[in-house]
Amino acid sequence: MRKLASIVSVGMSKIGRFPELNGRELVVEAFLEAWDGCKNLDRKDIGAVFVGNQSETYEHQIMYGSLVTDWLGLLPKGSMRVEGCAAAGALALSSGVTAIVSGLHDIVLVCGIEKMSLRSTIEITDALMSASDLVLEQHNGMTFPSIYALMARAHMSKYGSNEDDLAAVAVKNHRNALDNPKAHIRKEISKVDVLKSKVIASPLKLYDCSPVSDGAAVAILCKTELASRFTDSPTFVVGMGNSSDTIGLYEREDISWPGAVAQACSNSYQMAGLAPGDISFAEVHDAFTINEILHYEAAGFAKRGAGQESIRSHQTDIGGKIPVNPSGGLKARGHPVGATGLCQIYEIHNQLNRRCGKRQISGAKYALAINEGGSNAIVTTHIISN
């Protein structure tokens, strides 16, 4: 098994709504935690900066590469922003890992940031719509809740999943987040709460949808041979997969199946020489509850069409056969869009280092992260080991 790169330290801001903070300040908060978590690192040894960020609309700000590099004292190093809607955070990680593997850099900083709460719900819905097809979806009124509602209806109709199954995903992830001090929403909910919550796009209700969050997360990566200089507790990227699907849902043969997620997972497993059964736990992209069930199937934790069985049998609870979203997931830890992929890595790095207190998964060895953008249209997956 090849260790592509080492993660030597991670940091994450608190996730929530912070009207008093700019995005750059959330990045500083995340970076300082990562900085304090490693040793012997000189800022000038960081060779490049990759920043995941979804939308310029929220802060009227592009050039996040330069902004972060400046505010973290890393000038004059090269930087760039990467974007694939909500996959931006994992794309930053993937770019950083590629830079390490290339040998062009020994140490890089990867970062994800989104500062959403400056805008109204309508403005945010509109900014997210830009991840669907301009010509054939946006103009016809598609929003992301309606896109995922169509996927849910297709899955229900074809495979017999139901609104109770979706609610169970929300209940589990809210429960997990209770033990996560940085989570956006720390509130236990019942299935009845979910089922009685306001309909957003039937069958999805308010509690089937992730919240609008501010937040940032970072990871410091280096080539594996150097890791012990900076930390006694590195983790390692041992698999990586990237795949794209049609941006428009209307172009797909079967909207109940996230093909690019399956492809990216397959790429990751192949690179790591692992199978789904080798994975100890996963952080997946539950922007809407249906998507967690689709990701069970695409990751190979359940057979195609049988994702709902995993939640019904509690296999994906902490303590179950394959725990999913111990952090609380997008649903409850929160979903600062461009940061989410690195929030997943923050949880994984800490779980693999046994730092997660009451939500700790015992004996974890390999973790899978699935981060996607749009309607599972850009997918980046990573397998991390300790």
Q: Is 243 in the site for a copy of itself (CB under 8 A)?
A: yes
- For residue 263, state whether it binds a copy of itself (rule: CB under 8 A): yes
Does position 264 interact with a copy of itself (CB under 8 A)? The reply is yes
Q: How many residues in the shown chain lie near a copy of itself by CB under 8 A? A: 66
Determine, following the binding rule CB under 8 A, whether residue 77 of this chain makes contact with a copy of itself.
Answer: yes
| Residue 83 touching a copy of itself (CB under 8 A) | yes
Draw the binding track, 94-123, toward a copy of itself (x: CB under 8 A; -: no contact).
xx--xx-xxxx-------------------
**Helix, strand, or coil (residue 149):** helix
In angstroms, the CA 300 to CA 383 distance is 14
**What single DSSP character describes residue 287?**
S
- Cis check: omega of the bond before 76, within 30 degrees of 0: yes
Residues numbered 174-233 forming contacts with a copy of itself, rule: CB under 8 A: none
Nearer to a copy of itself, 231 or 291 (CB): 291
Contact region with a copy of itself (CB under 8 A), list: 85-93, 144-152, 174-182, 362-370: 85-93
Cα–Cα distance, 118 to 21 (Å, whole number):
10
Instruction: Pick the closest to residue 310 from 331, 298, 296, 294 (CA basis).
Output: 296
* Closer of 83 and 163 to a copy of itself (Cβ): 83
Least distance CB 317 / a copy of itself (angstroms): 32
| Cβ–Cβ under 8 Å, residues 367 and 383 | yes
Among 73, 251, 314, 321, binds a copy of itself (CB under 8 A): 251
Q: Between residues 131 and 166, which has the closer beta carbon with respect to a copy of itself? A: 131
The CA distance from 2 to 271, in Å, is 8
Between 13 and 94, CB nearer to a copy of itself: 94
Distances 51 to 46, 65, 130, 179 between C-alpha atoms, Å: 14, 6, 20, 28
Among the listed residues 110, 149, 194, 260, the single contact to a copy of itself using CB under 8 A: 260
How far is C-alpha 147 from the geometric centre of its chain's CA atoms? 19
Beta strand 215-222 with 107-114 is antiparallel
CB-based burial of residue 35 (10 Å sphere; 0-12 exposed, 13-18 middle, 19+ buried)? middle
Stretch that binds a copy of itself, among 172-180, 182-190, 319-327, 377-385 (CB under 8 A): 377-385
60 touches a copy of itself (CB under 8 A): yes
**CA–CA distances in Å: residue 282 to residues 336, 352, 379:** 19, 11, 15
User: Considering the rule CB under 8 A, would residue 65 count as an interface residue with a copy of itself?
Assistant: yes
Stretch that binds a copy of itself, among 74-82, 156-164, 281-289, 350-358 (CB under 8 A): 74-82
Cα dist. 30→100, 121, 223, 374 in Å?
A: 22, 26, 22, 25
The span from the first CA to the last CA of the chain, in angstroms, equals: 12
91 interacts with a copy of itself by CB under 8 A: yes
- Provide, rounded to whole angstroms, the least separation between the CB of residue 271 and a copy of itself: 9
Give 357's contacts (C-beta < 8 A, 6+ positions apart).
179
220 vs 322, beta carbon nearer a copy of itself = 220
Q: Is 1 in the site for a copy of itself (CB under 8 A)?
A: no
Interacting residues toward a copy of itself by CB under 8 A:
22, 48-49, 54-57, 59-63, 65-67, 69-70, 74-85, 87, 91, 94-95, 98-99, 101-104, 127, 129-131, 133-135, 138, 240-247, 251, 259-260, 263-264, 373-374, 377-380
